[in-house]
Structure 1
Amino acid sequence: MTSAHLTERILLEIAEHEGLVLEAYLDSVGVWTWGFGVTDKSGHLVGRYRGRRSTVLRAIEVYEWLLRTRYLPQVLAAFRGRELTEAQLGAALSFHWNTGAIGQADWVQSFLFGRRARAWSEFLNWSRPREIIARRKAERDLFFDGRWSGDGVVVMYERVRPNGTIDWKSARAIDIRDEIRAVLAKAGEA
């Protein structure tokens, strides 16, 4: 099966890795971030969410729009028109959403040259900071073995402190499947 567009499953997979914060916060390296890991570098200015909460729906709309208009074309270009399964596309998009480096990733080149075992191993070359290792392994398992981990439930952090740090105790699980479906239908992807 070939998939060159966003699907509910792909959006849910990446969202689960990211988590959701409806107010701008400082990430682990001090970058202002919002929603599902959106930064200014992603293409949407997040300063507007400092001290101001958005809705879950707005966060999903921006997330889907960025994936569709900025990240998907770059992933497709990196694979040079090669047909990808839905799982491979989802894994590659998750990797690129997190690193912004699909065009420089050694594992992509190895995969394109048919060196599957080497590509599988090289996936973990992108495992810094340390807390990203579990995500990278999940992306690798999805790309090479088709094992999905997203189920529609994401962790949402309700509170951001005045200094921009997340109140980790404010976490709660929410199901975003209905909102994802609505956004995809509006975008014409459903």
Structure 2
Amino acid sequence: MKPNVDWFRRKLEEHRLSQSGLGRMLDIDRSTMSMLLAGKRKLKLEKAADMARILGVTVSDVIENMGIRVDGIKAGDVSAPHLLPFDGWIDDSARVHQEPGGRRKRIDIGVSVEPGATALQFRTPQSNMDVLDGWIVVSGAKREPDDRMVGRGCVVGTKDGEILLRTIRRGYAPGSYNLLRLGSAEPKEAEIEWYAPILLMKPASS
């Protein structure tokens, strides 16, 4: 499915922007912007969120009209709805707050995912992450750190006890990793206790 170029042109006209002007605002060069709109490059979630702000639309609108799935989302068969335990919520600094112990509610995410997966929800109203407020994040089962987590969006448990939603990069010291937060270029260096890869992200209403 290719991007809806006509939709993007209309939105650019409404905001008196050119394609290259939008690219400059997103810190994307002209050739990469052309490849994005031709469906030859993936659009990362943070860029989709920035684009939504600039064009005055929702992140869902951008994703749908890009005709692609955002980096970190995997296609799945929408055949067997799956109930997942609701594990907690994510604040505007992408820190995970776990639900209190006891019986947790379950969420029907509408797709089948791997055993051990859990659901989280962004709660970020009136913040720089408000475009994701209400979105559901599904993470897989917890895994011990390995090379498969590098370059992926994951829920991570650090050795100092934090639980964060981050993209993982290799660190500079042995056993450490750089953890990149959505919408921020400043990494946090940490040792990882466990990680759970992001399987999908979706608006709460879909």
Normalised by the length of structure 2, the TM-score is 0.23
Greater helix share, structure number: 1
Normalised by the length of structure 1, the TM-score is 0.25
Q: Which has the higher contact order (CA 8 A, sep 6+)?
A: 1
In our comparison, the structure showing a higher alpha carbon Rg is 2
Greater strand share, structure number: 2
